[in-house]
Amino acid sequence: MRTYAIPLVPGPTTVPAEIRAAYQEDYGSADLEPEYYELYAETQEQLRAILGTRNAVVIMTGEAMVVLWGALRSTLRPGDRVVAVATGVFGHGIADMARRIGAEVEVVGFDYDEAADPQRVEEAIRRVRPKMVTMVHCETPSGILNPVAEVGALVDRYEVPLFYVDAVSSAAGVPLRVDEWRIDLCLVGTQKCLSALPDLGIVTVSERAWEIVREVDYAGYDALGPFRTALEDRWFPYTPSWHALAALNVACRRVLGEGLENVFRRHEEVAAYCRERLKAMGLRLFPRREEWSSPTVTAVYVPEDLPWPELDRRLRARGMVVGGSLGPLAGKVFRIGHMGAQADPELVRRGMDALEEVLAEARR
């Protein structure tokens, strides 16, 4: 399989050697060895620091989608009312997931090139009186960062029982304050800003959420319930991946070792540089207002004179790989992932140079 010297995909991101090395170690049985439980507890504390919470942290074997589904199934019953804030593919996707569980879902939809407007969300909360509000922090396909803090304040003011936030492509790349923003279920993956493999799903669970989990009593591979006491009981509902947990531990150690504020600054600076270079090339950013752009991913309109398949082919020929987009944006927008290990000034500079060369060649 070919690899690329300039990886700027929006995830799964490139995995640093230090994290890859953790996967190569030979571990014992996670079901039997006390060292596994010690590592699990240590990694929970690392994640609490990164996510700004004292809530419980559940780490499940499986890609982030396992916790996106599990958190919904563990807290919703048919007929429960949900307000789903949707500014893109994943916001609408979560709304559809809740519907499939049987929830009555009110979608507060926005154009894909704009961030959520808290005023419209407030109107829906007042009208619907939901059990849950769902929201995506960073809509990766469109490069939009949504105002989670403002919506969290509304959730708190109107005493909505549950606030469910998909932070898969924002956690460890932008500030995230789970407790301060009143997030009950914060969903995180390992393959974006943490730069590990897509093998674990992470969810923070508030005490409010745990009580609802107990009442719903959902049973399944992705159920949250068994994890409430898994560490103290020394019993997990299935054999966990020690290798994946060890790699996540190293990934968290890297983030905390650099310092959260330094990590966030690096992402902001690299994103700003990327966007300035793109505009200088005559390309148009997808977000209607630049301040809505995420520090972890930049979405750009495909140039009219160079269709996406051809642009992708030419970039790959120069050793650079970026991402197309999804849903209604497929073929119209491409994405540059400057998250995690890819939020590297030199890597992004090389990427912008390669893109500039491709555009100049196409316009001759």
Q: Which of 224, 257, 290 is the last residue of a domain?
A: 257
Residues 235 and 270 in one domain: no
User: What's the whole-number mean pLDDT along residues 135-139?
Assistant: 99
DSSP states along 110-153: --TTS---HHHHHHHHHHH--SEEEEESEETTTTEE--HHHHHH
User: What's the whole-number mean pLDDT along residues 194-199?
Assistant: 98
**333 has a pLDDT exceeding 90:** yes
Residue 335 is labelled as binding a ligand: yes
In a domain, 248, yes or no: yes
Q: Which helix (H) or strand (E) holds 359?
A: helix 345-362
Quick one: pLDDT at residue 222?
98
Q: Are 209 and 57 in contact (CB under 8 A)?
A: no
In a domain, 1, yes or no: no
Q: Which of 201, 234, 257 is the last residue of a domain?
A: 257
Q: Are 141 and 90 in contact (CB under 8 A)?
A: yes
**360 has a pLDDT exceeding 90:** yes
Q: Are 217 and 197 in contact (CB under 8 A)?
A: no
Selected residue with higher pLDDT from 362 and 269: 269
Quick one: pLDDT at residue 30?
75
Type of residue at 122: E
Quick one: pLDDT at residue 352?
99
Cα separation, 143 vs 39, whole angstroms: 34
For 288-318, what is each residue's pLDDT tens digit?
Answer: 999 999 999 999 999 999 999 999 999 999 9
Cα separation, 74 vs 210, whole angstroms: 9
Quick one: pLDDT at residue 92?
98
Quick one: pLDDT at residue 272?
99
Cα separation, 43 vs 248, whole angstroms: 7
Cα separation, 124 vs 119, whole angstroms: 9
For 98-125, what is each residue's pLDDT tens digit?
Answer: 999 999 999 999 999 999 999 999 999 9
Q: Are 12 and 186 in contact (CB under 8 A)?
A: no
Quick one: pLDDT at residue 31?
76
Chain centroid, CA 337 distance in Å: 12
What percentage of the chain carries pLDDT values higher than 70? 100
In a domain, 318, yes or no: yes
Quick one: pLDDT at residue 363?
83
Residues 221 and 298 in one domain: no
Residues 167 and 284 in one domain: no
Quick one: pLDDT at residue 364?
76
Type of residue at 241: S
In a domain, 221, yes or no: yes
pTM: 0.97
**186 has a pLDDT exceeding 90:** yes
Quick one: pLDDT at residue 3?
86
In a domain, 308, yes or no: yes
Residues 57 and 159 in one domain: yes
Domain containing 277 equals 6-13+260-362
Q: Maximum Cα–Cα distance for the chain, whole Å?
A: 67
Quick one: pLDDT at residue 5?
96
Residues 241 and 326 in one domain: no
Specify the CATH number for the domain of residue 276. Answer: 3.90.1150.10
User: What's the whole-number mean pLDDT along residues 66-89?
Assistant: 99
Count of structural domains, the chain? 2
User: What's the whole-number mean pLDDT along residues 265-274?
Assistant: 99
**65 has a pLDDT exceeding 80:** yes
Where b means 16+ CB within 10 Å and e means fewer, 220-236 reads eebbbbebeebbeeeeb
**242 has a pLDDT exceeding 90:** yes
Quick one: pLDDT at residue 332?
97
User: What's the whole-number mean pLDDT along residues 120-143?
Assistant: 99
Residues 229 and 273 in one domain: no
In a domain, 214, yes or no: yes
CA angle 118, 109, 142 (to 5 degrees): 95
Q: Environment class of residue 243 by beta-carbon count within 10 Å: exposed (0-12), middle (13-18) or buried (19+)?
A: middle
Residue given tokens 């009219």 in the structure block: 304
Residue 264, both tokens: 């966030």
User: What's the whole-number mean pLDDT along residues 198-221?
Assistant: 99
Backbone angles phi, psi at 18, to 5 degrees: -60, -40
Residues 83 and 199 in one domain: yes
Q: Are 231 and 34 in contact (CB under 8 A)?
A: no
**In which order are the strands placed within the sheet that holds 323-324?**
297-301, 333-337, 323-324
Residues 123 and 233 in one domain: yes
**265 has a pLDDT exceeding 90:** yes
Residue 71, both tokens: 């958190």
**240 has a pLDDT exceeding 80:** yes
**59 has a pLDDT exceeding 90:** yes
Residues 233 and 330 in one domain: no
Q: Which of 225, 241, 257 is the last residue of a domain?
A: 257
Specify the CATH number for the domain of residue 227. Answer: 3.40.640.10
Residues 113 and 213 in one domain: yes
Identify any residues that bridge with 91 across adjacent strands, giving them in sequence order. none
CA angle 128, 218, 235 (to 5 degrees): 135
**1 has a pLDDT exceeding 80:** no
Quick one: pLDDT at residue 29?
85
Residues 248 and 269 in one domain: no
In a domain, 89, yes or no: yes
pLDDT, mean over the chain: 97
Cα separation, 263 vs 49, whole angstroms: 13
In a domain, 167, yes or no: yes
Residues 188 and 57 in one domain: yes
